[in-house]
A = this chain, B = another copy of it.
Amino acid sequence: MPVPSPNLYPDFNTVRLSHVEFTVKNLAASRAFWVDTLGLQISGEEPGALYLRAMEERGHHCVVLRQGDKPTANVLGFKVWDEADLDRAEAWFKAKGRPTSWIDRPYQGRTLLTSDLFGVPLEFYARMDRLPPIHQKYALYKGVKPLRIDHFNTFTPDVDASVAFWNDMGFRVTEYTEDEDSGRLWAAWMHRKGGVHDMAFTNGLGPRLHHTAFWVPTPLNIIDLLDLMATTGYVANIERGPGRHGISNAFFLYILDPDGHRIEIYCSDYQTVDPDLEPIKWDLKDPQRQTLWGAPAPRSWFEHGSLFAGLEPREAVLKAQPIIAP
């Protein structure tokens, strides 16, 4: 089995994924999509930037949209347990030979900027401004009624290497796809917060951001979003779904924002807090791992991703082919 043993006592305690910053070309168009259609709430606004949060979040932001020339994913944000964890994180990344710096981010406390083994830009903080709860302000619920950011999924040129690195950070593999021919990992799902994943890796030209996922209460919210997008000019932004993943067992929909940043709407995965939770293995040749109900994903879903700002992706080490819709 190619999955490393979980590191149950990591050097620093990452609580969960927290936020992502995107560069978008037209902030007004992005606002129409993210706020008026998806239903995220504006928690901060400054010239050229919008800060958004989902309905049950109390941290200030889970998405930052920043106006710019080229659509990129700029940084993936994570929350750690306390300030001491931040210092231990700095030491850990330095020991791995990664660049580290302390940066100022609006609404965040002390923030460590660094990157993973392939250069994926990461930031860690312990404290972010807290906002009053809005999860019972039902008049604010709109669109897909997004409750919280759920996970990132990235293309990586070497899934085995990425998993080894993140496993050392304390992320635990819950499910994985193995290329039976090479015995190598094709994809892996890794968590900190007790769901199927905070972070996932898929073999491909990378690093690139495959998607950012938001959690919704039921499949009917996803159906509502499809109806809304289909009749408000966004039908071409619907890429894949709805369906149920074999992996994670979640009900899903994939859509693209106006700049092509992919978003997954996601519900009904399972609880993974047990430290002895056995990872579930899938075969790359099993189409039900993608969609339990059998329908393969479209080609774009395997090929398109957001570039990380300032990072040139590399060819994947694994050349096996996924099953693609004909």
Determine if B58 and A137 form an interchain contact, defined as CB atoms under 8 angstroms apart.
no
Interface residues of A, Cβ cutoff 8 Å to B? 8, 15-16, 56, 58-59, 79, 81-82, 127, 130, 133, 135-139, 147-148, 193-194, 217-220, 223-224, 226-232, 235-236, 238, 242, 244, 246, 249, 251, 268, 270-271, 273-278, 280, 288, 292-295, 325-326
Determine if A81 and B246 form an interchain contact, defined as CB atoms under 8 angstroms apart.
no
Within the complex, the shortest CB–CB distance from A268 to chain B, in Å, comes to 6
Within the complex, the shortest CB–CB distance from A275 to chain B, in Å, comes to 6
Determine if A82 and B288 form an interchain contact, defined as CB atoms under 8 angstroms apart.
no
Within the complex, the shortest CB–CB distance from A162 to chain B, in Å, comes to 23
Chain A residues touching B, majority SS: loop
- Least CB separation from A233: chain B residue: B139
Choose from B227, B251, B278 the contact partner of A244 (Cβ within 8 Å).
Answer: B227
Determine if B228 and A8 form an interchain contact, defined as CB atoms under 8 angstroms apart.
no
Within the complex, the shortest CB–CB distance from A89 to chain B, in Å, comes to 15
- A56-B271, A147-B270, A276-B127 in contact; A292/B15 too (CB < 8 A)? no
Determine if B244 and A242 form an interchain contact, defined as CB atoms under 8 angstroms apart.
no
The interface residues of chain B lying within 8 Å CB-to-CB of A138 are 224, 227-228, 230-232
Q: How far is the CA of A242 from the CA of B227 in the complex (A)?
A: 13
The interface residues of chain B lying within 8 Å CB-to-CB of A251 are 223
Within the complex, the shortest CB–CB distance from A52 to chain B, in Å, comes to 17
7 A/B residue pairs, CB under 8 Å, sorted by A? A130-B276, A133-B280, A136-B292, A223-B244, A226-B244, A226-B292, A230-B244
Determine if A137 and B231 form an interchain contact, defined as CB atoms under 8 angstroms apart.
yes
